[in-house]
Amino acid sequence: MKPFSALLESLIFTPGRNAKLAHLRDYFAHTPDPDRGWALAALTGALNIAAIKPAAVRQLAESRSDPVLFRWSYDFVGDLAETVALIWPEHHDDAHVAPALSEVIERARIAGRSEAQGLLGDWLDRLDATGRWALIKLFTGSLRVGVSERLVKTALAEFGQVSIDEVEEVWPGLQPPYRELFAWLQHGRARPQVDHLAAFRPLMLAQAVDEADLRKLKPEDFCAEWKWDGIRVQVLGGARQTRIFSRGGEEISAAFPEIGDLQGLDAVLDGELLVRIGDQHGSFNELQQRLNRKTVSAAQLKQRPAFVRLYDILFEGDEDLRSLSFEERRARLEDWYRRRVLHMPLLERFDLSVQLPFKSWEELEKARQLAASVNAEGLMLKRRDSPYVAGRPKGLWFKWKRAPDTVDAVLLYAQRGSGKRSSFYSDFTFGCWRDDAAGNAELVPVGKAYFGFTDEELQQLDRWVRSHTVERFGPVRRVEPALVLEIAYEGLRRSSRHKSGVAMRFPRIARIRWDKPASEADRLDSLMSRIKD
């Protein structure tokens, strides 16, 4: 348990991605099977043990400590798991040997909930404070140590000196504690086998381009289509069920049963998940109502039915199509669509992303300017001869986004960053003007941005913040409302959680308007009027 709890502790304190990877690699290299496999399961959410409610943990702790002191301690710490871990009486004797992670998990997996509570008390007696904290996190649900499944897989790939795509390829066929995975990564044993229609395949991604880059490319080498504003998915259509994975390899089938319940697709497809509102596809805001849900209501299914707009095919049956050219795959996709979809009641679940004919970049630029009107983020350009290559290969696929919307807002607060940015004010909250109840102009926060600027601009902003501070609260400074920032964003949506009533997608600092007086920044009502419902 000790190496695992030390790992969790390092991960919560480590802000940097590279440092997190170093901790994970170090753990995988120095921890034996099956402990490291169980840790991997815990970190990727693949662990299935009886959850214990926080109230039960609290009860257990109160039975072992003075209730008055427990209450004061909880007030001081502010987090239940941590209070319990810290206040639990220590036993420093030979009868209390710390259990191994595998002992804990193997036992907990077969235990019922009431039995698990008894086990928890016994293990808490045998662990140190960090071990107790890790154990409570393990039993009360998500670990929340700031690592994504993708990051853990990246660490595995680096540890085994294989590509992340190879790890993604084998991942769906694996079960905890992943002995064959580690045998492959560490000892060069055979790569684990997977079923074609059951395994998520890493997606092919596009590089960003602008007008200048395009001039170096020949229009006739490329196909063009809209870059849809939904979420990229991979559809694994097996004989009895269909599974949907997001770009990062996370399964989201449960949230979209109208697709998950389909049978007999017999293909692995690449496309954009969208919702239908009337006879049109809905905006990203509409789709968002359906995301991050464990279950979906009948009303949602009726109001916002989901469908997949297809643009590529990776497998048909057992046949791997990924080495074919994009044009050949597109022909196979259209052929599959004619045979499988047009003759089955699947029409409302799939359509094909249209190809946009064009002769020159100028002609295509005109189309790009229409992107917003069709709810698209811009254009996709795919080389006609490109095979399907996982990752972001150079020179094959490009995304040519429409110009982002921008707003001029006034800097209100700045917060110190973390890690490399600990000494810089690098998180900026900005606001727009509106009239208060008395009719006076006031600034109301509309968003927060922490990127978009160069290192040099960051230094300038940091200096400006330090010399224009009017108030400090911990790591946050309120500044004079005097600096205008041009903020670029990808979308707006109404939000009852924000004071301004509006939430921004991907806000970033496009320019620092040293020249512009704060009074000329944009008004909130002009921002609100841009929202497309």
Nearest to 498 by CA among 448, 425, 436, 440: 448
CA–CA distances in Å: residue 20 to residues 8, 168, 333, 430: 10, 19, 40, 31
Nearest to 402 by CA among 380, 369, 374: 369
CA separation for the pair 66, 400 (Å, rounded)? 64
CA separation for the pair 137, 109 (Å, rounded)? 15
Query: Taking CB under 8 A as the rule, does residue 57 contact another protein?
Result: no
Least Å from the CB of residue 47 to another protein: 22
Cβ 170 vs Cβ 40: under 8 Å: no
Q: Closest CB to another protein among 352 and 476?
A: 476
Query: Taking CB under 8 A as the rule, does residue 245 contact another protein?
Result: no
- Of positions 295, 423, 440, 467, contacts another protein by CB under 8 A: 423
Going residue by residue from 455 to 494, which x/- string records binding to another protein, judged by CB under 8 A?
-------------------xx-------------------
CA separation for the pair 351, 269 (Å, rounded)? 12
- Of positions 55, 68, 95, 298, contacts another protein by CB under 8 A: 68
Nearest to 234 by CA among 201, 282, 278: 201
Q: Return the residue matching tokens 């590089």.
A: 207
Query: Taking CB under 8 A as the rule, does residue 415 contact another protein?
Result: no
Nearest to 450 by CA among 458, 460, 442: 458
Q: Which stretch binds another protein (CB under 8 A): 79-87, 236-244, 265-273, 372-380?
A: 79-87
Residues numbered 123 to 152 that lie near another protein (CB under 8 A) are: 128-129, 133
Q: Return the residue matching tokens 């109502």.
A: 289
Least Å from the CB of residue 130 to another protein: 9
Least Å from the CB of residue 87 to another protein: 5
Question: Beta partners for 509?
Answer: 487
DSSP state of 94: T
Q: Closest CB to another protein among 245 and 413?
A: 413
Residues numbered 23 to 52 that lie near another protein (CB under 8 A) are: 23, 26
Least Å from the CB of residue 17 to another protein: 13
Query: Taking CB under 8 A as the rule, does residue 87 contact another protein?
Result: yes
Query: Taking CB under 8 A as the rule, does residue 86 contact another protein?
Result: yes
Q: Which stretch binds another protein (CB under 8 A): 46-54, 197-205, 276-284, 415-423?
A: 415-423
Joined together, the tokens standing for residue 146 give 């700031």
- Of positions 55, 76, 220, 297, contacts another protein by CB under 8 A: 76
Q: Closest CB to another protein among 145 and 485?
A: 145
Least Å from the CB of residue 22 to another protein: 6
Query: Taking CB under 8 A as the rule, does residue 77 contact another protein?
Result: yes
- Of positions 59, 63, 90, 385, contacts another protein by CB under 8 A: 90
Residue 363: its H or E element: helix 361-368
CA separation for the pair 23, 26 (Å, rounded)? 5
Q: Which stretch binds another protein (CB under 8 A): 18-26, 100-108, 377-385, 490-498?
A: 18-26
Neighbours of 454 (CB within 10 A): 9
- Of positions 293, 419, 495, 532, contacts another protein by CB under 8 A: 419
Number of residues that bind another protein (CB under 8 A): 36
CA separation for the pair 426, 454 (Å, rounded)? 11
Going residue by residue from 379 to 408, which x/- string records binding to another protein, judged by CB under 8 A?
------------------------------
Q: Closest CB to another protein among 26 and 33?
A: 26
Least Å from the CB of residue 7 to another protein: 12
- Of positions 32, 53, 79, 354, contacts another protein by CB under 8 A: 79
Query: Taking CB under 8 A as the rule, does residue 528 contact another protein?
Result: no
Cβ 491 vs Cβ 529: under 8 Å: no
Joined together, the tokens standing for residue 314 give 């990776």
Nearest to 433 by CA among 409, 405, 406, 407: 409
Q: Closest CB to another protein among 423 and 529?
A: 423
Joined together, the tokens standing for residue 416 give 């110190």
Query: Taking CB under 8 A as the rule, does residue 67 contact another protein?
Result: no
Joined together, the tokens standing for residue 73 give 């301690």
CA separation for the pair 62, 528 (Å, rounded)? 51
Nearest to 287 by CA among 255, 253, 243, 241: 255
Joined together, the tokens standing for residue 429 give 């909250």
Could you list the residues that contact another protein (CB under 8 A)?
Answer: 9-10, 12-15, 19, 22-23, 26, 65-66, 68-69, 72-73, 76-79, 82-83, 86-87, 90, 128-129, 133, 416, 418-420, 422-423, 474-475
